[in-house]
């Protein structure tokens, strides 16, 4: 499986996102109007009839998963070289700053070596989210990310969740479940995705989010190694740039 792709040519990544504001009440009048419409559509799609209907303010805790109402606070990356994993994170309260730094890295790397990008559920979440936020912030999309006008086989994006489906599109398989299935140390030993906004806005602990994001990247790397029938990255071969 994946024998035609050199794992050294893959840049693994994961992103962490939060709502654009700490609370619904902090939104501008126009954004509040748009979120009210989004919350209404979420409420209509919600099949849980046992709970009272949520207000737009209560739905706002989910705003971070939508690029129109959220922002990126961390992008962690990993690349394998000579059996060792090198992890580097781009993080900041200033989203344009971290996106510019990340885009610059992609531009320089793609000039030296043609590589693939890989994330878990990346094709549905990470890759389009990054592209949308770059567009919003007026940042040029690096060619390795840009999918516009490309044929499917020209897009160098890998997705470990899609690889696991083997053409079955009926379900979502979490990274945590696959880690447990393949006996990979779980990344969910501190916080979970639903906690990121609280840690960011209430605890103001961005380094904690970075650590969580890097653990996810390590797990994605190890999952890909398992899928290729190879051994996990040894702890003493994990480096932080």
SS3 for 240?
strand
pTM of the model: 0.93
Measured over the CA atoms of residue 195, residue 201, residue 203 and residue 206, the dihedral's sign is positive
Give residue 154's pLDDT: 73
What local confidence, expressed as pLDDT, does residue 47 receive? 64
Class of domain 7-20+73-240: alpha beta
Question: Structure tokens of 133?
Answer: 């936020």
- Distance between CA atoms of 117 and 108, rounded to whole angstroms? 14
Strand 70-81 versus strand 10-19 pairing type = antiparallel
- What is the residue-wise DSSP string for 13-38? EEEEEEESSSSGGGS-HHHHHHHHHH
- Give me the pLDDT at residue 45, please: 80
Q: Pull the structure tokens for residue 154.
A: 């020209």
128 C-beta neighbours (distance < 10 Å), count: 14
Over the range 133-148, which residues count as b (16 or more CB within 10 Å of their CB) and which as e?
Answer: bbeebebeebebbebe
Alpha-carbon torsion 32, 59, 174, 201, what sign?
positive
Q: Where are the alpha helices (DSSP H) in 141-188?
A: 160-165, 175-181
Q: Quick one: pLDDT at residue 48?
A: 61
User: Any idea where the domains of the chain sit in the sequence?
Assistant: 7-20+73-240, 23-68
Question: What residues of the chain score a pLDDT lower than 70?
Answer: 1, 47-52, 110-114, 187-189
Task: Provide the pLDDT for residue 113.
Answer: 61
Classify burial at 183, counting beta carbons within 10 Å of its beta carbon; exposed 0-12, middle 13-18, buried 19 or more: exposed
User: Looking at residue 109, what is its pLDDT?
Assistant: 76
Torsion of the alpha carbons at 109, 114, 118 and 122, rounded to the nearest 10: 90
């Amino acid at each position: 499986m994946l024998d035609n792709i050199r794992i050294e040519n893959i840049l693994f990544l994961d992103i962490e996102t939060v709502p654009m504001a700490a609370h619904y009440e902090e939104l501008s009048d126009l954004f509040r109007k748009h979120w009210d419409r989004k919350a209404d559509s979420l409420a209509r799609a919600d099949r849980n009839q046992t709970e009272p209907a949520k207000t737009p303010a209560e739905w706002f805790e989910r705003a971070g998963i939508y690029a129109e109402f959220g922002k990126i606070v961390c992008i962690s990356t990993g690349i394998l070289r000579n059996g060792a994993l090198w992890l580097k994170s781009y993080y900041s309260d200033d989203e344009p700053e971290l996106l510019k730094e990340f885009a610059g890295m992609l531009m320089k790397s793609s000039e030296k070596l043609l590589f693939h990008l890989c994330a878990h559920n990346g094709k549905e979440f990470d890759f389009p989210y990054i592209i949308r936020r770059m567009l919003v912030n007026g940042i040029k999309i690096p060619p390795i990310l840009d999918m516009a006008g490309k044929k499917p086989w020209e897009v160098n994006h890998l997705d470990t969740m899609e690889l696991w489906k083997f053409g079955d599109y009926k379900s979502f398989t979490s990274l945590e479940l696959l880690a447990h299935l393949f006996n990979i140390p779980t990344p969910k030993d501190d916080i979970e995705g639903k906690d990121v906004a609280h840690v960011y806005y209430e605890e103001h602990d961005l380094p904690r989010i970075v650590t969580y994001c890097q653990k996810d990247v390590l797990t994605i790397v190890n999952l890909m190694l398992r899928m290729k029938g190879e051994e996990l990255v040894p702890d003493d071969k994990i480096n932080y740039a």
